[in-house]
Amino acid sequence: MAGNSGIVKRYLDALVAKEFETLPLAEDIVHVSPFGTVKGRKPFVEACKLVVSETKEIAILDLLEEGDSVSVRYEAVTPVRRMPITEWYTLKDGLITRIDAYFDGAAASASASAA
């Protein structure tokens, strides 16, 4: 998988592997989700460490790419459930500059509590 889709796939693989230093993120990345907005690579990576701590697999269901954007829908698999998520990525110069994440915030919170 090449191009921006490949970069997003590499990002998701690195999340599952907990290889946070290799995440292809811009320094000024913006992440928007039902939990709020996180700006900057360092705070976002710290948030990632918490969110994916129980994630064993990211099962990609669909992926589309157009221009500087990639959209992915997947299930984040933890020991207690499969969390449906879709994310809309914006990329520039081989790095992810923005992620808009769509999921049910209440279900995600319940999943985190149960893990």
Partner 1 sequence: MPRNPWRQLLARLPEHEPPEEAWNRIEAHLEAQSNGGRAIALAYLDGLRTGDFAASPFTPDFVCTTPIGRMDQREFLDAVRNLARLLRSVELEGMMASTDKACLRYILHFRDGRPDFHAVDWLSLEAGKIRAVNAYFDASGLFNQMSA
> What does the binding site for partner 1 look like in residue numbers (CB under 8 A)?
34, 61-62, 64-66, 69, 71, 73, 84-86, 88, 100, 102-107
- What are the angstrom distances between the C-alpha of 112 and each of 1, 37, 96, 104, 115? 31, 19, 25, 12, 5
The CB-of-92 to partner 1 minimum distance in angstroms stands at 16
Give the nearer residue to partner 1 in terms of CB position, either 67 or 79.
67
The CB-of-40 to partner 1 minimum distance in angstroms stands at 22
**Beta carbons of 83 and 75 less than 8 angstroms apart:** yes
The CB-of-21 to partner 1 minimum distance in angstroms stands at 29
86: Cα separation from own chain's centroid = 9
The CB-of-73 to partner 1 minimum distance in angstroms stands at 5
Give the nearer residue to partner 1 in terms of CB position, either 46 or 104.
104
Give the nearer residue to partner 1 in terms of CB position, either 1 or 17.
1
Give the nearer residue to partner 1 in terms of CB position, either 19 or 68.
68
